[in-house]
Structure 1
């Protein structure tokens, strides 16, 4: 990872070179809106004068206004995409990562869903894919937005039920069976436990010795011995530290032997509701503002912190030996 000052020194001239385009694009959008307003009023007035239903006039005004503003905003939207991808590529390189705007294949998404790490969805979109290597293990991360369809008597609409990161990381311990780390359900833990299964096998609740951990999480597994082999005190400290780093964003994870790519190699899947990260900020402000890039840089620091807390035993408080 490079320090922010050196990254900013490299990025600032590029952003400055785009500032004239940004100003022109903003001006075009504002002018488009200024045109759309009288056009919309004219359509409404025309509808009233010729006896058309007011709703029809308002609908026509809305369609015209959106069309004019949308056309006027095309250069600004294009610039936003260019700035976002340019910043993410440059910052990814500074952190030793590879970036693509969208994942070619959302890694293990069906497994995230089947293990209940993310909710059921009727609409889904994926973006901002990163991959790299840390502590001798490969990992990848991408953002997901999941929506469920809801119906009322008058309309159908969609509600966002998950917005955050999905992470696949090689885990440097042999994995057998399934070990699931999910959120504590309080008085519903017993019912939750009855419903847990994986690959046709029942998941049993795993009793652990860390009361702080069990106040936040529940662990289920197909093999009590394997689950305890994975859920060492050091690893539980890491997960608690991750919960703190993400400010309690509903971290949950799974180890599943069916995800292994080779002998002695396992994978861990982790989901966290982080909101929408890796965005360039408002284009109504100067592009070459240091705060814009610094905020994005913090998102990349968060990736590094997540991976370090999973893989690096020294990041766990009081940990002195690898797990």
Structure 2
């Protein structure tokens, strides 16, 4: 069993001392944000009122400009809080990563796991992507990487054009730890439907033909569909214990629509997971009383990954 650090132990060490020093910084950031709100109201309020009354322009144009000014002013007033949250988040997550023998960086680039998830339809089509919160290292003898992805699609046209978030969640790539040769994809039920309904017999993804295979465990056959380039090997890969761990990850991350790829194209095989979540690892709370709770939540999320890695060791 992997021994995870306790939130109380971390808070009793250097992390707790550092967070105590950040209390004044957080209070000052909140005070500066309030000062900026008053400045914005005093300066922009009369200007906008004058513009609405005195400038001859279409009402719709005035409303658009007012909205843009309001958005810019809000961003300016909230910036001190955003910077304080980012600083605290970075400090907490780095301490947690160090205790787990991992590395953490706030900024991130898309990894090979994301590119494979995109090619195989594990994430929605999108027009732009942003990545953050990159964790990497080794868990239970398996190298892994995790980062958050925010994917957006441009919709509408003209003045109605807008960016819509189509996916926000975690992309996890973990070394499988045994030689596999095929690619097996586990998707939420109903992803690839035929023209007249029902699951397709086969689909072409990333230049390969994936056949539909049954999930023999009755608890999961209504929740997932499985697709593979090798039906024989897939029987060993889709083990009920793996599916249970995947659902545990989904629950721990307060996520949904988890899917997974067992990929034999890479040395000794990889497991790639994509799961929709909220904004994860936001441990930089402005309320210092929440620090220990946020630390404990992040540690528990990594506990689910550790249990998945241990399960993979059991069935090598």
How far residue 153 of structure 1 moved from its aligned partner, in angstroms, is 6.6
Match for 2:162 among 149, 157, 161?
157
Establish whether residue 229 from structure 1 lines up as the match of residue 233 from structure 2.
no
Q: Deviations over 1:144-193 (max 9, x none)?
A: 11111111574111111111100000002221121111111189376653
How far residue 69 of structure 1 moved from its aligned partner, in angstroms, is 5.4
Match for 1:40 among 44, 51, 57?
44
Larger CA deviation: 300-309 vs 187-196: 187-196
1:278 aligns to what SS in structure 2? Answer: coil
1:6 aligns to what SS in structure 2? Answer: helix
Whole-angstrom CA distance in 2 between matches of 1:72 and 1:185: 45
Superposition map of 1:101-250 within 5 A:
101-151=106-156, 154-185=159-190, 188=193, 193=200, 196-246=203-253, 249-250=256-257
Q: Cα gap change, 1:174/1:198 in structure 2, threshold over 3 Å: closer, same or farther?
A: farther
How far residue 253 of structure 1 moved from its aligned partner, in angstroms, is 0.6
Whole-angstrom CA distance in 1 between matches of 2:109 and 2:232: 37
Larger CA deviation: 219-228 vs 40-49: 40-49
Instruction: Please give the TM-score of this superposition, normalised by the length of structure 2.
Output: 0.85
Give the RMSD, CA atoms, in angstroms.
2.8
Superposition map of 1:266-305 within 5 A:
266-283=269-286, 285=287, 287=288, 289=289, 291-305=290-304
Structure 2: segments with no counterpart, 5+ residues: none
How far residue 197 of structure 1 moved from its aligned partner, in angstroms, is 2.1
Instruction: Please give the TM-score of this superposition, normalised by the length of structure 1.
Output: 0.84
Kept in 2: contact 1:100–1:129 (CA 8 A): yes
Whole-angstrom CA distance in 2 between matches of 1:313 and 1:251: 18
Q: In structure 1, what is the equivalent of residue 10 of structure 2?
A: 7
Whole-angstrom CA distance in 2 between matches of 1:44 and 1:247: 42
The alignment of Structure 1 onto Structure 2 pairs a total of residues equal to: 309
Whole-angstrom CA distance in 1 between matches of 2:171 and 2:187: 15
1:125 aligns to what SS in structure 2? Answer: strand
1:251 aligns to what SS in structure 2? Answer: strand
Match for 2:25 among 7, 21, 26?
21
Kept in 2: contact 1:178–1:221 (CA 8 A): yes
Whole-angstrom CA distance in 2 between matches of 1:231 and 1:68: 52
Whole-angstrom CA distance in 2 between matches of 1:44 and 1:244: 47
Structure 1: segments with no counterpart, 5+ residues: 315-320
Superposition map of 1:250-269 within 5 A:
250-258=257-265, 260-261=266-267, 265-269=268-272
